[in-house]
């Protein structure tokens, strides 16, 4: 039995070692196909990153499929059971780096669009794809720059489906209608180095830090809401001392991170942290990095259309979720009122022997096509 169209395209993309920020002409393959389906394809290069903006139609509503062709590094090759860039079928699974995250979604986007356009060449509105090679890396020359350019041009996005692997146990059981924000801090507590035998001549930075750190870790930052869990504070690294056992550490450095809900803002979190540090009369330096603000798409047309498509195709009742890390959805949400993430089962993403179930590829493509049908066909 020959490979289906979506499986063929998935394998073609998987065979390209597009470790971030490389694309290895994945986007060229997509553009050639989309051109044939009537899309106007534009390569947007920012820095060394390739991005693809492909659109068919000029009217509203505009439904965008968004994704990334870059993948994370393979990890130890000797732990892979087959070459990570030779897509391999084994026991009903397709193995390769990027199989789940997220070249299968991109292939399904494209074939779904091809099928929809062939069946409904005069559909209302427009279809677009926004594809980057800078999602698994710094994410500075990818989707964020494309969104800035689209905003500059006055392009209005109405709906966006990001093909992140959101499913947990079965295809379609979970979609993401938002993501928490990420705010990181590097806190340096300044004491005075000295000899442990003469503590009166030193100020131990760890001892100074400890009460404030206890207060930071025991705070309730917010209670969350109907869509988001409560904001969390986690220490990721703590370093102090010279390595010697007889030296009082003069500085202590703490890396921490907030994953925050829409009930908090970067400004409110910064203000509360600094108030705690000042209350403990610490001499400190604090550097902040905002990885992304939270975004949320309340229940609406897009989530309903996608849930209906999933139910029709798989019989699964989907659940809305905002768990997980950040995604490029945070950039798209700035210019698009409805952003939903949906893709294959995510159990193996970023792991050795990453894989996707072969029997989910056709349903994945069909769900994307059914969503197009619900949103871009006039209801009779």
The response to whether 141 counts as a known ligand-binding position is no
Asked if pLDDT for residue 370 goes beyond 50, the answer is yes
- Give the pLDDT of residue 185: 98
Q: 104 — phi, psi (to 5°)?
A: -65, -40
* Share of residues in the chain with pLDDT > 90 (%): 96
Cα–Cα distances in angstroms (integers) from residue 157 to residues 293, 303, 330, 337, in the given order: 19, 15, 14, 8
* 181-292 has the same fold as 5-179+294-376: no
Q: 307 — phi, psi (to 5°)?
A: -60, -40
Asked if pLDDT for residue 152 goes beyond 60, the answer is yes
**pLDDT digits over 48-73, tens only?**
999 999 999 999 999 999 999 999 99
Q: What confidence category does residue 378 fall into, taking pLDDT thresholds of 50, 70 and 90?
A: confident
Active site residues: 70, 135
Q: Where are the domains of the chain?
A: 5-179+294-376, 181-292
Structure pTM? 0.89
Which helix (DSSP H) or strand (DSSP E) does residue 251 occupy? strand 251-260
List the alpha helices (DSSP H) in the chain: 5-14, 26-36, 104-119, 143-153, 205-218, 266-279, 301-314, 329-332, 361-376
Q: 338 — phi, psi (to 5°)?
A: -130, 110
In DSSP terms, which residues pair with 51 in a beta bridge? 44, 132
CA distance 21 to 205: 40
Asked if pLDDT for residue 1 goes beyond 50, the answer is no
**pLDDT digits over 154-193, tens only?**
999 999 999 999 999 999 999 999 999 999 999 999 999 9
**pLDDT digits over 253-283, tens only?**
999 999 999 999 999 999 999 999 999 999 9
The answer to whether residues 37 and 116 touch, using CB atoms and an 8 Å cutoff, is no
- Give the pLDDT of residue 325: 81
CA distance 67 to 89: 24
- Give the pLDDT of residue 326: 83
CA distance 277 to 268: 14
Asked if pLDDT for residue 247 goes beyond 70, the answer is yes
Q: Helices 104-119 and 361-376, interaxial angle, to 10°?
A: 50
**pLDDT digits over 219-229, tens only?**
999 999 999 99
The answer to whether residues 352 and 76 touch, using CB atoms and an 8 Å cutoff, is yes
- Give the pLDDT of residue 292: 87
Q: Are strands 251-260 and 93-95 parallel, antiparallel or unpaired?
A: unpaired
Asked if pLDDT for residue 306 goes beyond 80, the answer is yes
Q: What confidence category does residue 7 fall into, taking pLDDT thresholds of 50, 70 and 90?
A: very high
The response to whether 355 counts as a known ligand-binding position is no
- Give the pLDDT of residue 380: 52
Candidate CATH numbers 3.30.70.360, 3.40.50.720, 1.10.10.370, 3.30.420.40; the one for domain 181-292: 3.30.70.360
Q: Helices 5-14 and 104-119, interaxial angle, to 10°?
A: 140
Candidate CATH numbers 3.40.630.10, 2.40.50.100, 3.20.20.70, 3.40.190.10; the one for domain 5-179+294-376: 3.40.630.10
The response to whether 101 counts as a known ligand-binding position is yes
- Neighbour count for residue 242 (Cβ, 10 Å): 11
The answer to whether residues 215 and 360 touch, using CB atoms and an 8 Å cutoff, is no
CA distance 259 to 302: 26
The response to whether 350 counts as a known ligand-binding position is yes
Query: Which of 63-67, 208-212, 239-243, 322-326 is the least confident region?
Result: 322-326
Tell me whether residue 368 is exposed, middle or buried, using C-beta atoms within 10 angstroms of its C-beta: 0 to 12, 13 to 18, 19 or more: buried
The average confidence (pLDDT) of the chain is: 96
Cα–Cα distances in angstroms (integers) from residue 360 to residues 11, 13, 220, in the given order: 14, 17, 41
Strand order in the sheet with 284-292: 232-240, 251-260, 181-190, 284-292
User: Average pLDDT, stretch 74-97?
Assistant: 98
The response to whether 280 counts as a known ligand-binding position is no
């Amino acid at each position: 039995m020959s490979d289906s169209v979506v499986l063929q395209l998935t394998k073609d993309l998987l065979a390209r070692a597009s470790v971030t920020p490389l694309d290895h002409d994945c986007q060229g393959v997509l553009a050639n196909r989309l051109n044939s389906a009537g899309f106007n394809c534009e390569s947007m290069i920012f820095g060394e990153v390739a991005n693809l903006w492909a659109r068919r139609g000029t009217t509203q509503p505009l439904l965008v499929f968004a994704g990334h062709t870059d993948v994370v590094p393979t990890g130890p090759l000797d732990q892979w059971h087959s070459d990570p860039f030779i897509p391999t079928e084994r026991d009903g699974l397709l193995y390769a780096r990027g199989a789940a995250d997220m070249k299968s979604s991109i292939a399904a986007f494209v074939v779904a669009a091809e099928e929809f356009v062939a069946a409904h060449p005069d559909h209302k509105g427009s279809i677009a794809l926004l594809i980057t090679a800078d999602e698994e890396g710094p994410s500075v020359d990818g989707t964020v720059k494309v969104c800035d350019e689209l905003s500059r041009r006055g392009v209005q996005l109405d709906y966006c489906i990001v093909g992140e692997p959101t499913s947990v146990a079965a295809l379609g059981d979970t979609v993401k209608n938002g993501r928490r924000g990420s705010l990181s801090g590097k806190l340096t507590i300044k004491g005075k180095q000295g000899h442990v035998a003469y503590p009166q001549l030193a100020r131990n930075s760890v001892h100074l830090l400890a009460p404030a750190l206890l207060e930071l870790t025991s705070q309730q930052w917010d209670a969350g809401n109907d869509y988001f869990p409560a904001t969390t504070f986690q220490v990721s690294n703590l370093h102090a001392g010279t390595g010697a056992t007889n030296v009082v550490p003069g500085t202590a450095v703490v890396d921490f991170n907030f994953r925050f809900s829409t009930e908090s803002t970067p400004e409110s979190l910064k203000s509360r942290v600094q108030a705690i540090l000042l209350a403990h009369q610490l001499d400190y330096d604090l550097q902040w990095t905002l990885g992304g603000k939270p975004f949320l798409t309340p229940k609406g047309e897009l989530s309903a259309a996608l849930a209906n498509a999933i139910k029709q195709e798989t019989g699964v009742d989907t659940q809305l979720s905002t768990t997980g890390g950040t995604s490029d959805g945070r950039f798209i949400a700035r210019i698009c009122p409805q952003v939903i993430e949906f893709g294959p089962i995510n159990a193996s993403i970023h792991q050795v022997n990453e894989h996707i179930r072969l029997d989910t590829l056709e349903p994945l493509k069909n769900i994307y096509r059914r969503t197009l049908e619900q949103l871009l066909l006039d209801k009779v």
